[in-house]
């Protein structure tokens, strides 16, 4: 029974993310979003720990102190800020600011997750409330966290249309800046 419930949740989540990504011009990211959730490493624990109101990874983490499915997932999906962690010369973890495309996909992902798990109780403020109520921003790059709070606050205060319009501009400017940086690197070589 949990097999079909989990499949339905994952499929609905991907559909919501795809819609959101398309609104900001991220067609490819929307189509490829979370395909690793269908791998045995993620799908089997998803079925086993399915609850319907939150990520199965949360339950797996409660039981074992970590989630093997999450470790697999975040290592393969650049729209998670945890992917963007490196180490400094002393071996200390350093959070890196996320590139605009993956940042925008993260925003789309968080909104979709809120819609799926909150259901009829979803409000435009849900993703912001979830973000502010968790400590995960402590491990997030400060610029990324501030930008995420800005966009989620814009969603809460002005709605999806305004927020997605602003996010689309951010992605467009980011792509333009990356293109220019690439040209500049080629010139300097």
Dihedral over Cα of 119, 123, 126, 128: its sign: positive
Distance CA 133, CA 29 (A): 27
pTM for this structure?
Answer: 0.93
| Crossing angle between the packed helical segments 142-158 and 160-188, to the nearest 10 degrees | 150
Name the residue among 11, 50, 48, 3 with its Cα closest to residue 33. 11
**b/e per residue, 150-173, with b = 16+ CB within 10 A?**
ebbebbbeeeeeebbebbeebbee
Predicted local distance difference test score (pLDDT) of residue 127: 97
Distance CA 80, CA 188 (A): 32
Predicted local distance difference test score (pLDDT) of residue 43: 97
Q: What is the mean pLDDT of each run of 10 residues along the chain (189 residues)?
A: 95 98 98 97 97 92 97 97 95 95 98 96 97 84 96 98 98 92 83
Q: What is the DSSP string of 81-122?
A: GGGSEEE-TTS-EEEPPPPHHHHHHHHHHHHHHHHHHHGGG-
Predicted local distance difference test score (pLDDT) of residue 92: 93
Residues 6+ apart with CB under 8 A from 36: 42, 72, 73, 76, 77
Whether the CB-CB separation of 29 and 79 falls below 8 Å is answered with yes
Distance CA 81, CA 100 (A): 12
């Amino acid at each position: 029974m949990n097999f079909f419930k989990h499949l339905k949740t994952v499929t609905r989540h991907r559909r919501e993310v795809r819609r959101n990504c398309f609104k900001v011009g991220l067609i490819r990211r929307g189509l490829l979003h979370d395909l690793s959730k269908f791998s045995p490493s993620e799908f089997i624990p998803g079925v086993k720990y399915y609850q319907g109101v939150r990520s199965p990874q949360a339950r797996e983490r409660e039981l074992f102190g970590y989630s093997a499915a999450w470790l697999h997932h975040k290592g393969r999906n650049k729209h998670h800020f945890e992917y963007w962690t490196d180490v400094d010369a002393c071996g200390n973890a350093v959070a890196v600011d996320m590139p605009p495309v993956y940042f925008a996909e993260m925003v789309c992902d968080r909104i979709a997750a809120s819609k799926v798990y909150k259901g009829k109780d979803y409000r435009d403020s849900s993703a912001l409330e979830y973000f502010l109520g968790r400590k995960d921003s402590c491990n997030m790059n400060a610029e990324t966290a501030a930008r995420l709070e800005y966009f989620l606050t814009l969603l809460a205060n002005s709605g999806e249309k305004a927020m997605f319009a602003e996010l689309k501009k951010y992605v467009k400017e980011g792509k333009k800046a990356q293109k220019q940086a690439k040209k500049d690197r080629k010139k300097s070589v």
